[in-house]
Structure 1
């Protein structure tokens, strides 16, 4: 079983740290950013490097939300296949988004190198695993759409997949050799540190309690002080504190949990994901697995391992590990944690303008590293003298989601029910 209480591996092992004291005085800046995740920190770095004055306000600590609870897969694009993106957005806007995210891994790994971010970067690919014959059919369709996404995928059969993963449980897979893995919290902290070096002011433990418009500027209240800003970016995603209209964001909160073993013995480490790829599968209730620098096996799945279904999800993790890797069946879990995903009904992120010179970005639907980095950079440019055409998506005046609580409960119920009966026939190779 996992540890007795939640314990985030990324917080325990991050080599990156920074000092971002609470807001202690009033200030006036070009850009105020609310939220210290991938999007906010990327925007702060881009703006500060461009010569703008920046204040980033984080209610907890940098990377506290989904960015510091991420799986750490540096994938291009969205979860949606490119043709689905075009169908939802239309050819012009869909192509715009696909092009903006097609080289996401290049942007992330270039930032890591440029800023010297110590985040365990491994760029040896990621693997989308077919859990069944139907799943493999879907991967073949994605392979055929690779040129639309600007990616050069490799379609692997069961034998090649087993060789790369060390597991016999999959019928085939789709590999993106240009993708990779990182320690996500260390990456987020590294972006923040680089932003500070470039001149941005970052403040942790500074929850924003009020946002108003006054005299053509934005006024933010936090930690008993005020920040006046010419432009505003809200980048809180699934961890937003409700500021009231027009800043409230509507999305479906979905939980994702991860379980990390103690480091594997050397002989097992040499044959389980020997090249360090990160993996996720095609199952409706998706799961993922990868390793870290120390050789831990990190298993993830939809569901809240810190909520009412904790025992069910924990039991599933043990059985899933045994199915994937029988030789790891009794290897102890030493960390487990959960995070929230901001899901939209169409699985496409949203950029909303809550007022003049202001943007709110949310709804990455489970893929935050590359989109968050890219959206943050482009939002900073657009807010500081660029145009909306520089953004990956058109700006909306608002976005609504219906029955968000009911849908969130349904996702959790489905994950809990599926995990309770695992293994079952649909989880087996077909």
Structure 2
């Protein structure tokens, strides 16, 4: 494949400017971070009549919300029966119902608000590369069918036809899922949140959060300061020095992605139904077709920021393993972003001090999960009633020896890649 110097996502496009405003005095809610979680919460809080200030360290979409793979997948990593085991009958069923609707929330929002977001609700396939993975897909299909979800189990012939690639034993098809232009979605969320009355400031990182009586004092690098009755720290993998304890509770990774040039018509057998796909490998890859016909593929990358195009070679190898006929198709775009995972692969909701909220951990479900969390979090901020929260408020615990995580993760990734290679 021919080299490319582009390190921007394929869906970069001009967006309408959003007026940036900074409130003065005291507001009901300060949201730190203008990603899906922060902007969705700001939108619902503003529409509930709260005064809201959103503060973003960079530009809209420069974090994970603008550089992810665009797959909108309902559910969580864990299936319904395990969620009920972990959280109990009542809370587990409530979380399952919430998780089942996350894709609905995103696509209904796009339609209801007439958002300028390219999207296709064409389903998601979890492709099983081993017999054990196929058995897991069978269990997932059984459990979600019991919940009334529009899902199906694929055999080897069916998945080969839908993906356009041989080698998978079968898979799980979730027709509730789809894909969006992730950058357009976060920009449109910013637009409707500000139109609802939320103030938004960009390129001004929050540098201090101090509890002061019954409220919080929030300071930024530019010297701005205001008071807030409640604060939502919606920074996830980018929490850093602002909340070291939150940062120590997470494992952050780099997600790398590539996109080909638009594929010519002779390759229309590749994802002909435009399904999004993730495979079952330990170091999985995920891929889809873009609206203009490119193949977009992503997966884990190095723990350090990339330096040259060689840092994406492992994805080019994966692409050719799936579709060897694309050996002469150029890679036009390469990019990466930081994502956060939790040790138990569940999203976590914390309130370590009164009025300071934070949610972290997406595990590949970030678009649907974080957009959907906006309304219940806003309700909790407005009323203090946790009844709508789909997750329990849990203690914030750091991971032991977290500062050595980069070494450990790199070793695990190398080992898992070896195991995945042996299973071909």
TM-score interval, smaller chain:
over 0.9
Structure 1 residue 39, shift from structure 2 partner: 0.3
- SS of residue in 1 equivalent to 2:278: strand
Written as runs of structure 1 = structure 2, the 5 A alignment for 1:241-390 is 241-244=240-243, 250-268=249-267, 270-304=268-302, 307=305, 313-390=311-388
Contact 2:6 2:332 in 1 (8 A): no
Does 1:424 pair with 2:421?
A: yes
Query: Residues 224-248 of structure 1, C-alpha deviation per residue, up to 9 Å, x if partnerless?
Result: 1112212111110001142257766
Equivalent position of 2:189 in the other structure: 191
The one of 110, 113, 117 equivalent to 1:112 is 110
Contact 1:352 1:399 in 2 (8 A): no
Equivalent position of 1:230 in the other structure: 229
Structure 1 residue 32, shift from structure 2 partner: 0.8
The one of 208, 211, 230 equivalent to 2:209 is 211
Comparing 160-169 with 81-90, greater Cα deviation is found at 81-90
Equivalent position of 1:69 in the other structure: 67
Structure 1 residue 199, shift from structure 2 partner: 1.0
Query: Are residues 145 and 99 of structure 1, via their aligned partners in 2, closer, same or farther at CA, if it must alter by over 3 Å?
Result: same
Query: Are residues 310 and 135 of structure 1, via their aligned partners in 2, closer, same or farther at CA, if it must alter by over 3 Å?
Result: farther
Structure 1 residue 399, shift from structure 2 partner: 2.8
The one of 172, 182, 198 equivalent to 1:174 is 172
Contact 1:208 1:221 in 2 (8 A): yes
Contact 1:312 1:416 in 2 (8 A): no
Contact 2:345 2:363 in 1 (8 A): yes
Equivalent position of 1:8 in the other structure: 9
Contact 1:34 1:235 in 2 (8 A): yes
Query: Residues 273-322 of structure 1, C-alpha deviation per residue, up to 9 Å, x if partnerless?
Result: 12211100111111101011111101111123863697665222222111
Query: Residues 343-372 of structure 1, C-alpha deviation per residue, up to 9 Å, x if partnerless?
Result: 111111111113222311112233211110
Contact 2:283 2:420 in 1 (8 A): no
Contact 2:237 2:247 in 1 (8 A): no
Q: Distance in 2 between matches of 1:403 and 1:365?
A: 22
Structure 1 residue 9, shift from structure 2 partner: 2.3
Query: Residues 61-114 of structure 1, C-alpha deviation per residue, up to 9 Å, x if partnerless?
Result: 122211112111111111222233233333333222111111111110011112
Contact 2:253 2:303 in 1 (8 A): no
Residues matched between the structures, number: 422
- SS of residue in 1 equivalent to 2:286: strand
- SS of residue in 2 equivalent to 1:219: strand
Contact 2:74 2:365 in 1 (8 A): no
Does 1:406 pair with 2:404?
A: yes
Does 1:391 pair with 2:389?
A: yes
Q: Distance in 1 between matches of 2:146 and 2:61?
A: 32
Contact 2:72 2:103 in 1 (8 A): yes
Q: Which ranges of structure 2 fall in alignment gaps of 5 or more residues? A: none
RMSD: 2.3
Q: Distance in 1 between matches of 2:167 and 2:311?
A: 20
- SS of residue in 2 equivalent to 1:18: coil
Query: Are residues 390 and 155 of structure 1, via their aligned partners in 2, closer, same or farther at CA, if it must alter by over 3 Å?
Result: same
The ranges of structure 1 where at least 4 consecutive aligned residues each deviate by more than 4 angstroms after the TM superposition are: 244-249, 308-313, 416-419
Query: Are residues 190 and 216 of structure 1, via their aligned partners in 2, closer, same or farther at CA, if it must alter by over 3 Å?
Result: same
Q: Distance in 2 between matches of 1:409 and 1:22?
A: 41
Equivalent position of 1:151 in the other structure: 149
The one of 89, 100, 103 equivalent to 1:102 is 100
- SS of residue in 2 equivalent to 1:9: coil
Contact 1:131 1:282 in 2 (8 A): yes
- SS of residue in 1 equivalent to 2:192: helix
Structure 1 residue 410, shift from structure 2 partner: 2.9
The one of 68, 79, 82 equivalent to 1:81 is 79
Q: Distance in 2 between matches of 1:120 and 1:192?
A: 16
TM-score computed with the length of structure 2 as normaliser: 0.92
Q: Which ranges of structure 1 fall in alignment gaps of 5 or more residues? A: none
Contact 2:245 2:397 in 1 (8 A): no
Contact 2:301 2:312 in 1 (8 A): no
- SS of residue in 2 equivalent to 1:19: coil
Contact 2:106 2:368 in 1 (8 A): yes
Contact 1:136 1:171 in 2 (8 A): yes
Comparing 307-316 with 158-167, greater Cα deviation is found at 307-316
